[in-house]
Amino acid sequence: MDRKKQAEPETIDGSRLKIAIVASKFNPDITGKMFVGAVEILRKSGVLEKNIRTVWVPGAFEIPLACQKLAQTKKYDGIIALGCVIKGDTDHYHYVSSGSIRGVMDVMLKTDLPIGLGIITTANLKQAQERSSGRHNKGAEAAQAVLEVINN
């Protein structure tokens, strides 16, 4: 697989930003690492701990509603959505992953609030582990993305 090299992440002053994180409790070993990655990026950008609000939801399907409720408060400059959907033996995976991702996009477009998409969909646990740790942490990438969109 040929991957294009990404530009270095922008340095952003987040000292005045208020960011919400919506994270799924399902697959906690994965979403927990993604959460840590997201918070690390926010802190490196200067976002104050008191300006980071976290809402834990049961699973990925509940993420859009939590994002919508947070967006409607108009208290946040951006939201980070974190979840993990691993393919199983049934079609349930497709409905949950497409519904939650589409729901997050709908909230973002409806409210004009940037939402960093950190809902990973993988074929197996190994792929999820790879995408939730180290330099491939999709939680960290979602945090960086939301900061960059806010900054533009």
Taking alpha carbons only, the member of 104, 118, 137 closest to residue 36 is 137
Residue 7 lies in a domain: no
* Residues tagged active-site: 92
How sure is the predictor about 2, in pLDDT bands with cuts at 50, 70 and 90?
Answer: very low
With 70 as the cut, is the pLDDT of residue 77 above it? Answer: yes
Residue 69 lies in a domain: yes
Please count the CA atoms within 13 angstroms of the CA of 66 that sit on its side-chain side. Answer: 23
Residue 55 lies in a domain: yes
Residue 4 lies in a domain: no
List all residues 6 or more positions away from 112 whose beta carbon is below 8 Å from its beta carbon: none
Residue 2 lies in a domain: no
Asked if 44 and 102 count as a contact pair (C-beta separation under 8 A), the reply is: no
Residue 108 lies in a domain: yes
- Report the sign of the C-alpha dihedral through residues 21, 27, 33, 34, in that order: negative
Q: What is the pLDDT of residue 90?
A: 82
Q: Which residue segment(s) compose the domain that 78 sits in? A: 19-151
Per-residue pLDDT of 100-135, as tens digits, reads: 999 999 999 999 999 999 999 999 999 999 999 988
Q: How many domains does the chain have?
A: 1
- In this structure, the number of other CB atoms found within 10 A of the CB of residue 19 comes to 26
Residue 99 lies in a domain: yes
Residue 14 lies in a domain: no
Residue with tokens 């393919």: 87
Q: What is the mean pLDDT of the chain?
A: 92
- CATH number, domain of 146, equals 3.40.50.960
* CA distance linking residue 116 with residue 12, whole number of Å: 15
Per-residue pLDDT of 10-37, as tens digits, reads: 677 888 999 999 999 999 999 999 999 9
* CA distance linking residue 29 with residue 85, whole number of Å: 12
Per-residue pLDDT of 46-76, as tens digits, reads: 999 999 999 999 999 999 999 999 999 999 9
How sure is the predictor about 9, in pLDDT bands with cuts at 50, 70 and 90?
Answer: low
Q: What is the pLDDT of residue 1?
A: 44
List all residues 6 or more positions away from 84 whose beta carbon is below 8 Å from its beta carbon: 24, 26, 27, 30, 31, 34, 60, 119, 120, 122, 128, 132
